[in-house]
Structure 1
Amino acid sequence: GGPTGPGHAEPAQAAAAPRPRESADDALAYVVPAHTVGVFYHSPEPGADPFVRAGDTVVAGQQVGIIEAMKLMIPVEADRGGVVREVLVADATPVEYGQPLLTLDVDAPAGGR
């Protein structure tokens, strides 16, 4: 027998993943993950404008996409505010639980604004 068990399920796209964020430039990149397994969509319906594009400013709780899981449309919301740096997953792509969907450039915590 070979090594089987829960540790063998590596994501197939690991080779294409961005490098770990270690440089100071990336310290404030915030990842919005998939909260469920399903198919990630950028827009509310085919042909519609995407919820967000790179460069857009979002606020905490703002919808940034949809995951379709078992015929349910589950909104994906930003956990915090920031500027969309990059949408990591193409439209209509199957995603795994916890997979990064997009990254935000977030402001360093500061006094009230």
Structure 2
Amino acid sequence: MSSQITAPLPGIFYRRPGPDKDPFVEVGDTVEEGQTIGLIEIMKQFTEVRSEAAGVLTAFQIDDLGMVGPGDVIATID
């Protein structure tokens, strides 16, 4: 059964903790409930985006550095 990770607030979605760092997760990785999969920045404030379910990350719907709005689907987990 698929689970969707949605944006809690508007901003810019980052898949990495920093420009020279590896992504938090890649498509195909197993993620745990509560695991950080990215960050959303709004006005220089960063909020962690966490998985609400355990499983395999099957897709990102938002590109790295893409704009998100509240409730936008960021990723899908099976």
TM-score range, shorter chain: over 0.9
Alpha-carbon distance between aligned partners in 2 of 1:70 and 1:61, rounded to the nearest angstrom: 24
| Counterpart position of 2:40 | 67
1:46 aligns with 2:46: no
| Greater than 2 Å deviation, 4+ residue runs | none
Alpha-carbon distance between aligned partners in 2 of 1:93 and 1:47, rounded to the nearest angstrom: 18
Alpha-carbon distance between aligned partners in 2 of 1:54 and 1:100, rounded to the nearest angstrom: 15
What does 1:1-113 correspond to in 2, within 5 Å? 28-105=1-78
Alpha-carbon distance between aligned partners in 1 of 2:49 and 2:42, rounded to the nearest angstrom: 12
- TM-score, normalised with respect to structure 2: 0.96
The structure, 1 or 2, with the larger RCO (C-alpha pairs under 8 Å, 6+ apart) is 2
Alpha-carbon distance between aligned partners in 1 of 2:32 and 2:50, rounded to the nearest angstrom: 9
Alpha-carbon distance between aligned partners in 2 of 1:102 and 1:50, rounded to the nearest angstrom: 14
Alpha-carbon distance between aligned partners in 1 of 2:75 and 2:26, rounded to the nearest angstrom: 10
Relative to its length, the structure with more strand (as a share) is: 2
Q: Structure 1: any 5+ residue segments left out of the alignment? A: 1-27, 106-113
Relative to its length, the structure with more helix (as a share) is: 1
CA RMSD after TM alignment? 0.7
